[in-house]
Amino acid sequence: MRGRLTVAFQSGNLRKFYNAKMATLERSAPAASHVHEHVLDNGLRVLIQEMRTAPLASVWCWYRVGSKDEPSGQTGVSHWVEHMNFKGTTNIPRDKVKGIIEQFGGYWNGYTWIDQTTYTETATRDALDRMLFIEAERMANCLYDPADCESERTVIISELQGGENDPDTLLDQELTAAAFKAHPYRHPTIGWLSDLQAMTREDLYGHYRRFYVPNNATLVVVGDVDAQEALRAAARHFGAIPPGEVTRRPHTREPEQLGERRVMLQREGTTAYLKLGYHAPAIGDPDFFPMLVLDAVLTGAKGINLWASFRTPPPQRSARLYRALIDAGLASSVSGGFVPTAEPFLYTISCTATEGTPLARLEEAALAEIDAVRRLGITAAERDKAVHQLRARLVFENDSITNIAHQLGYFETIASWRILPTIRSRIETVTIEEVAATAAERLKPTNRTIGWFEPLPISS
């Protein structure tokens, strides 16, 4: 009895802590009334949110350019340009870029994906002016020294080859290329090898000058700042940078898939992998949020923060594919991949087979569970649990000024930051009927691409 009382007391304290933490974080989530939005005369959109939780500030500079904007023969150019923009500017020597932020105990990074390229710094609030200076320099004054371009070619090709040596990464790349026939989402962000070998310094610099202009960018500042002072500082650093003429090639709309596609890879290895890819809704499609709930039921709730959601494993033990594959001993891991994108991308389910399990058996079990969802939908209890878990993930992935600033800029590049304050209510209003309709349409056999990686014996 004494032990039970102790456990109950601890459980009650944990529940109180959880509820208090949730309430605190929910108050910090970006509401439309708390985000200050301004567009400078040169077209730069500035989003500022004051948060007094700690004496810190996070700056993100976003560009609406990713791998989908690359012409044939220049796949990977956006990612390569991102690398080059850490190599120094007219007013920042290349060996000083890191030091400017690190002297404030700060953090800096950047990434490129299919819809966007972004750069970030988070440091103490007194570093705000320095952070804005770095991003204004990055926008206007990067150097592209020919020797740096050549050395970075070697780095990126090595990165590409390293990814291809990972069977799961290779299978993902090949499955995506097979799932898309026409849309540029089919190209890997890092690019294809022949393009990386052939691109010139002029190709890189031309891409930089075409897209790195204020009217193609969004500057986000979140933290212990005064909004008006931060806006004046942004105008001082960025206001004189002239706008550019951002011409975009129209994207071919992906035609409807008419039948199942397959990718079969064989190479020396020790582990077998299965991937299922389904054409999925974009952020603006009416079935985006039902699809999010559906994925939570199948593989566990991940949230929608590309920067943070996938760092913490989702709650999976009650997820359908966990029970059907892992509890049955057929797979050692299963995961779902579904993130907001500007245009329809993919929902992927990735499985790692246990030793001795044939991929055909693993595929059969996975498709049987998916077919059951297509035919019968989900239960009210599954829907309620998924919504609760997604709500918690949304709160905890906004637990820092860096994550909040990321979400503002990310959503602005794919649609509008104003979607953010509506996400919770959109998830909570998803019905089991909507999930069932989405499953029936999106998970049908003609909409899927199946990928196998079958390991061959390692030669001695």
The CATH number of the domain where 79 resides is what?
3.30.830.10
Cβ neighbour number for residue 147 with a 10 Å cutoff: 8
Assess whether 231 and 265 both reside in one domain: no
Range of the domain at 359: 261-456
What are the strands, taking DSSP E only, across 189-258?
217-223
- 3-state SS class at 122: strand
Assess whether 284 and 341 both reside in one domain: yes
Does residue 410 form part of some domain?
Answer: yes
Does residue 17 form part of some domain?
Answer: no
Assess whether 277 and 142 both reside in one domain: no
Burial of residue 178 (CB within 10 Å: 0-12, 13-18, 19+) is middle
Q: To which residue do tokens 């699809």 refer?
A: 291
Query: Count of domains in the chain?
Result: 2
Does residue 127 form part of some domain?
Answer: yes
Assess whether 189 and 277 both reside in one domain: no
Assess whether 276 and 209 both reside in one domain: no
Q: Given 207, 238, 269, which residue is the final one in a domain?
A: 238
Q: 3-state secondary structure string, 302-360?
A: CCCCCCCHHHCCCCCCCCHHHHHHHCCCCEEEEEEECCCCCCCCEEEEEEEECCCCCHH
What pLDDT, on a 0 to 100 scale, did the predictor assign at position 221?
A: 98
Assess whether 288 and 380 both reside in one domain: yes
Q: Given 238, 253, 282, which residue is the final one in a domain?
A: 238
Does residue 20 form part of some domain?
Answer: no
What are the strands, taking DSSP E only, across 173-272?
217-223, 261-268
Does residue 296 form part of some domain?
Answer: yes
> Residue ranges of the chain with pLDDT lower than 70?
1-33
Assess whether 36 and 125 both reside in one domain: yes
Assess whether 293 and 198 both reside in one domain: no
What pLDDT, on a 0 to 100 scale, did the predictor assign at position 303?
A: 86
Give pairs for 335-339: CB < 8 Å, separation 24+.
Answer: 335/299, 335/300, 336/295, 336/298, 336/299, 336/300, 336/302, 338/280, 338/291, 338/292, 338/295, 338/302, 339/304, 339/306, 339/309
Assess whether 234 and 288 both reside in one domain: no
CB 45 within 8 A of CB 217: yes
Assess whether 58 and 178 both reside in one domain: yes
Side chain identity, residue 295: D
Does residue 207 form part of some domain?
Answer: yes
Residue 453, strand partner residues? 265, 273
What pLDDT, on a 0 to 100 scale, did the predictor assign at position 99?
A: 81
Assess whether 228 and 266 both reside in one domain: no
What pLDDT, on a 0 to 100 scale, did the predictor assign at position 6?
A: 27
Does residue 254 form part of some domain?
Answer: no
Assess whether 162 and 282 both reside in one domain: no
Does residue 295 form part of some domain?
Answer: yes
- Residue 457 CA to residue 455 CA, distance in Å, equals 7
